[in-house]
Amino acid sequence: MTTGTDSRTVAPTPTRTLTVRYFAAAKAAAGTAEEIVELPAGATVADAVARLRAAHGPALGTVLDRCSFLLDEFAVRDRSTALRDASVLDVLPPFAGG
């Protein structure tokens, strides 16, 4: 009879913690100003945007299509940019005014 115990250990999957801050229309569509998202190690800005779109649905998805992004206060030109742990992603919809 087995005891149900397993002496093997499973290594935890490395993750990245990302703080997402929403502004203006993105904030309204997401229903929050800020959230913490866990992504797998090696995740990119594109992966983060896909996760946000899946989590919040079409209202935010429509806004995300028009947004620009800052990653740790730098403009993201290439969405294949890898995320580091504890990064901050700002979601900035287009705005007008002056």
pLDDT for residue 95: 78
d(CA 25, CA 60) in angstroms, rounded, equals 9
Task: Report the CATH number that the domain containing residue 29 is assigned in CATH.
Answer: 3.10.20.30
Determine the structural domain holding residue 82 and report its residue range. Answer: 15-92
Residue 20 lies inside a defined structural domain of this protein: yes
Residue 86 lies inside a defined structural domain of this protein: yes
- pLDDT beneath 70, residues of the chain: 1-12, 96-98
pTM here?
0.83
Residue 23 lies inside a defined structural domain of this protein: yes
pLDDT for residue 14: 84
Residue 98 lies inside a defined structural domain of this protein: no
Check: CB of residue 18 under 8 Å from CB of residue 47.
Answer: no
Backbone angles phi, psi at 65, to 5 degrees: -60, -25
